[in-house]
Amino acid sequence: MSAALKIDQFSLMDDRECDARITAAKAILGKRLAILGHHYQRNEVFKHADFTGDSLKLSQLAADSDAEFIVFCGVHFMAEVADVLTFGQRSVILPDLAAGCSMADMANLVKVRKCWDEISTLLDPDEHVTPVTYINSAADLKAFCGSHGGIVCTSSNARAVLEWSFARREKVLFFPDQHLGRNTGLKMGIPLDQMVTWDFMKPRGGLTDEQIKNARMILWKGFCSVHQMFQPAHIDNFRKAQPNGLVISHPENAYEVCQKSDFVGSTEYILRTVRASEPGTHWLIGTELNLVNRLADEMKPRGVTVQFMSPTVCMCSTMFRTDPQHLAWCLDNLVAGNVVNRIRVPEAVAEPARKALNLMLEVVD
């Protein structure tokens, strides 16, 4: 083992040199290394991934891998899930520690505990409320759910998870993304007036006793900054230009956008649906730009047009932080015998978080 290489030595490298270093490091490390690339990663990084997919799929691949080093090209909560599901027995590495998630940051343990305590002044939440956290959340919130009979969900299995939750208790506290909760609840037939929004900046969420008592779903006032950009007017303009076109949106979009869409589903659902379309189909897609651009390039030779929903560029700035320079830096350090940016979840947090994650896997199996 030698002294760890500094990121400053890589920050001014051009992408071509980084590519060469990444390729060389992968060859040296061989099966000891697995690089995971989330769909929203920039192409310069995504192309180096051994496995690609959404956050849960990648974490499951990490758990099934024999690799000693798991380099997760994604954001912080994803690397945490990989560490939890691998029982800390792999070195899970996040190339850039600044790669977080603004939605995940909207709910933290202090705020959620305060919400739970405030609800408890009206009713016993452990008897009447199931806490459900979207996988886009910190490990300690997954642990909170695991400790209170709750569960984790993804955008693809949210309905199955909510059905399981309502079979046990009459209410759900859903965080951090209000839109996924609302759009899923509507598909289940829950009326809008039985879904209230908990504003974590206000006492008791800004809700009356009556609103809390009558609610079936208490939705955290969180959102994805990327999907917040998409507006119903974007769909209206597309339909004027392409009367036979189809609109597909991620459920992190606002209710009004999803209501105007022909299809609503997870990232994997979007990919699957568009790839199955006939030549001549014209799609408008409401999700992250890198994924849409890659899908557009893939479908163009097949005569399928793919268009990004917003007329302005709308990238996930935290996803964009993982660049070839950081990837080359962490891989060169592994070659030199140094593990940098390892993500570790303390076992006191990992154990209840794992309970909530495994419960989700059992429910949707």
Q: Is 252 annotated as a binding residue?
A: yes
Q: Is 135 annotated as a binding residue?
A: yes
Other beta carbons within 10 Å of 211: 17
Using DSSP, state whether 352 is helix, strand or coil: helix
Number of H helices, E strands in the chain: 17, 13
Please report how the helices 267-275 and 289-299 are oriented relative to each other, as an axis angle in degrees rounded to 10: 20
Backbone angles phi, psi at 64, to 5 degrees: -85, -10
- Give the C-alpha separation, 53 to 254, whole Å: 24
Q: Is 11 annotated as a binding residue?
A: no
- In contact, 116 and 149? CB cutoff 8 Å: no
Q: Is 65 annotated as a binding residue?
A: no
Q: Is 55 annotated as a binding residue?
A: yes
- In contact, 260 and 232? CB cutoff 8 Å: yes
Q: Is 314 annotated as a binding residue?
A: no
Using DSSP, state whether 36 is helix, strand or coil: strand
Q: Is 250 annotated as a binding residue?
A: yes
Handedness of CA 142, 145, 151, 153 (dihedral sign): negative
How are beta strands 246-249 and 282-286 bridged, if at all?
Answer: parallel
Q: Is 249 annotated as a binding residue?
A: no
Q: Is 101 annotated as a binding residue?
A: yes
From the list 82, 73, 3, 76, the residue with the least C-alpha distance to 44 is: 73
- SS3 percent helix, strand, coil of the chain, rounded to 5, is 50, 15, 35
- How many residues are recorded in the chain? 365
Structure tokens at 246: 């189809």
> In angstroms, how far is the first alpha carbon of the chain from the final one?
43
What type of residue is 246? Answer: L
- Give the C-alpha separation, 287 to 39, whole Å: 11
List binding-site positions for [4Fe-4S] cluster.
Answer: 101, 224, 316
List binding-site positions.
Answer: 38, 55, 101, 134-136, 155, 224, 250-252, 267, 316
List binding-site positions for iminosuccinate.
Answer: 38, 55, 134-136, 155, 250-252, 267
